Amino acid sequence: MTEKTLLRSEYILLKTGTLWPKIQSQTAHAISCGALQSIPTECELVNQDGIDWIVRILANLVRKDIAKKKQAKKKQESGKEFNPFLPYDRDLFVCDISPTHLCLLNKFNVVNHHLLIVTREFEDQENWLTWADFVAMWACLAEFDGLIFYNGGKIAGASQKHKHLQLVPLPLGTGRGKIPLEPLFSSATSSPTSCATSNATSPGSLLRIADLPFVNGFARMDPNWINSPVDAAAPTLECYRTLLSAVGLLTAENQQSQQQSGPYNLLATREWMLIVPRSQEEFHGISINSLGFAGALLVRNAEQMQLLKETGPMTVLKNVAVSI
């Protein structure tokens, strides 16, 4: 049986209408047994050029820092990289998605109902995304409106080597769009490398968000793809590879390679996909992952908050991305 002939009932293990109830029940369980260790934050809106950026000050990182030290100790003792997903914590398990992917709660979540879409077998976080990854993505997006993101490598904000996409519910914040930066998407224009028939509303058309002062690739998605996650995976994979080519990450020389050629962040919803190549992991100690390019940032203390305000969030992103 080929990928094209697979039906949802034959491949996707997640039953329709069950993901959100499973998230709620497993969250309650994980809180009660101490498996879920949410990191409290203080949230502030920082306005720059009409955009209300969501900036969270992490109030307490002690538990996460302790966990990192334990991981480092285990690695030193065993000589092997610690992998929290093999085996995964059963108290954080939400559901099976497909034969290749499962869903876990993010142990140290900042945003409520933050999910991890994890490969069952080890795959490297610096490998390209695949057809199976996008089937799992669409199976989850079919259940509720959310933001998928992927930190492609350590420089892009990845903290674990085992491949995992992440999903948070929408909207983020209370601004004009589902994410703070969504108002800028109206500036999406055809890329110089697009075909002549490309336009800003056609699914899969190669675009660039002109109001972002760094290299990016953008494409509209068809929201109806949630009706058939298996069928949606192939055009999504094609769109992903087209965007990678447009931003210089996928070339004729490396397109057969399993491993990515450089760090990048990917963000996707039912309606669009955005890819941003990365040049560095942080700006003066402020770490940036994919959520930064949605308009949601994290700082560790008041000093970093002041630096962010003085510099401007968009300038911070420009410094960790690739300049135009």
CB 310 within 8 A of CB 304: no
- Please answer whether residues 119 and 76 qualify as being in contact, where contact means their C-beta atoms are separated by less than 8 angstroms: no
Strands 146-152 and 115-119: unpaired
Q: What's the token pair of residue 216?
A: 């990016």
Residues 6+ apart with CB under 8 A from 74: 82
Tokens of 293: 């390019």
Q: State residue 196's pLDDT score.
A: 33
Ramachandran region, residue 79 (left: φ > 0; alpha: ψ -120 to 50; beta: rest): left
Residue closest to 45 by CA, chosen among 197, 192, 180 = 180
The predicted model scores a pTM of 0.90
For 302, other C-beta atoms within 10 Å of its C-beta total 10
CA atoms within 13 A on the CB side of 309: 13
Residue 147 belongs to what H/E stretch? strand 146-152
What is the total count of domains within the chain?
1
How does DSSP assign 241-301, residue by residue?
A: HHHHHHTTSS-TTTTT-SB-SS-EEEEE-SSEEEEEEBS-SEETTEE--GGGGGTEEEESS
Helix residue ranges per DSSP H, the chain: 8-11, 19-33, 62-78, 131-141, 229-246, 302-311, 313-320
DSSP structural state of residue 82: -
Q: Which domain holds residue 10?
A: 3-320
CA atoms 262, 179, 48, 246: torsion sign: positive
pLDDT at site 64:
55
Tokens, residue 75: 């690695």
For residue 183, whether the previous peptide bond is cis, meaning omega lies within 30 degrees of 0, is no
- Asked if residue 156 lies in contact with residue 265, where contact means CB atoms within 8 angstroms, the answer is yes
Q: What integer pLDDT is reported at residue 4 of this predicted model? A: 45
Q: 297, 317 in Cβ contact below 8 A?
A: no
Pick from 236, 311, 321, 221: which is nearest to 271 by CA?
221
Cα–Cα nearest to 257, from 80, 119, 83, 124: 124
Local confidence pLDDT in tens for the 324 residues of the chain: 444 445 555 789 999 999 999 999 999 999 999 999 999 999 999 999 899 999 999 976 555 556 566 665 665 566 678 899 999 999 999 999 999 999 999 999 999 999 999 999 999 999 999 999 999 999 999 999 999 999 999 999 999 999 999 999 999 977 778 999 999 999 999 865 443 334 556 677 899 999 999 999 999 999 999 999 999 999 999 999 999 999 999 998 888 899 999 999 999 999 999 999 999 999 999 999 999 999 999 999 999 999 999 999 999 999 999 998
Whole-number Å distance between alpha carbons of 315 and 214: 10
Contacts of 105 (CB under 8 A, 6+ apart): 23, 26, 27, 30, 35, 36, 92, 94, 114, 115, 116
Residue 132, domain CATH? 3.30.428.70
